[in-house]
Amino acid sequence: MGKLDGKAAIITGSAKGIGRAIAVAFAKHGADLLLITRSTPLDRLAETCRAHGSNVECITADISDPAQALAAIETCKDVFGKVDILVNNAGIARDGLLVRMKDHDFELVLKTNLTGSFNCLRAATKIMMKQRYGRIINISSVAGQMGNVGQINYSAAKAGLIGMTKSAAKELASRSITVNAIAPGFIATDMTNAMSDRAKEEALKLIPMGRLGDVDDIAAGALFLASDDAAYVTGHTLSINGGMYM
């Protein structure tokens, strides 16, 4: 028996990296999936999830646009009749030192990582409140907990996501909707592949476990928070970072 049998889950930015791993883990545990991508095709992932027995619907949407986010979330209700789980995973980085940070790069990262998550959170919450059930998981970052050189925009957005998680958790607890965050450390994905070798070496020095994390480490945390095992956990930020920040 799967931990998410009969549940309908939405995962934003699920075509690759952490989102993809969460989608596969949820499919293995019996969830039906609404997968949201911005541009990377979802066909192969959908095929993999269907092979595990999931019903899968794929949507192309830019979640930073409120209308597109709303339409995508409502599609889950239209197709599966409900929205049990939302994973706000879509995110981008546009790194640069504070004094050289372009307005556009600051605003784009806030608009995608923070406002985009809010757009999906608000749309899903309206459905979950009527159901009197929901599990919301916001993918934050260790950068939002401890800061990071060259990531003024990204750290601000990810710290904001932790605040948003706590406020939403307080507002929604009485409706049996839990809201939690995961703060990954450095995880091997396209996002970290884009770092320079020097930055990667520096990052490794900060990790007591001495290695980057794997996408499946994050998927395991998301599965826990989405499942009944975490029914009494809300407003929490789960650090999955190899000891990088305690």
The sign of the torsion formed by the CA atoms of 14, 54, 2, 119 equals positive
Least distance (Å) from ligand NAP to the CB of residue 61?
6
Q: 205 to each of 24, 142, 149, 190, 193, how far by Cα in Å?
A: 31, 15, 15, 20, 17
In this structure, what token pair is assigned to residue 29? 């545990």
Identify which range of 27-35, 125-133, 188-196, 228-236 contacts ligand NAP by CB under 6 A.
Answer: 188-196
- Cβ-based burial of 124 (10 A; exposed 0-12, middle 13-18, buried ≥19): buried
Tell me: does residue 116 bind ligand NAP (CB under 6 A): yes
Among the listed ranges 7-15, 24-32, 73-81, 170-178, the one in contact with ligand NAP (CB under 6 A) is 7-15
64 binds ligand NAP (CB under 6 A): yes
Question: For this structure, is 133 an active site residue?
Answer: no
Could you say whether residue 192 binds ligand NAP (CB under 6 A)? yes
Q: Left, alpha or beta for 194 (phi > 0: left; psi -120 to 50: alpha)?
A: alpha
In degrees, rounded to 5, the angle at the alpha carbon of residue 39 between the alpha carbons of residues 36 and 40 is 85
According to CB under 6 A, which one of 12, 75, 119, 125 is a site residue for ligand NAP?
Answer: 12
Catalytically annotated residue among 133, 154, 232, 245: 154
Binders in 124-153 for ligand NAP, by CB under 6 A: 139, 141
Query: What are the φ/ψ torsions at residue 240 (nearest 5 degrees)?
Result: -130, 90
Task: Tell me how many helices (H) and strands (E) the chain has.
Answer: 10, 7
Q: Which of 133, 34, 160 is nearest to 125 (CA)?
A: 133
Among positions 39, 174, 205, 246, the unique one binding ligand NAP when judged by CB under 6 A:
39
Residue from 114, 186, 225, 230 binding ligand NAP (CB under 6 A): 186
**How many positions of this chain bind ligand NAP (CB under 6 A)?**
30
Residue 112 found at the interface with ligand NAP (CB under 6 A): yes
Residue in 127, 191, 207, 219 binding ligand NAP, rule: CB under 6 A: 191
In which residue are the tokens 């930020």 written? 237
Contacting positions for ligand NAP (CB under 6 A):
12-13, 15-19, 36-40, 62-64, 89-92, 112, 116, 139, 141, 184, 186-187, 189-192
Which active-site residues does the annotation give?
154
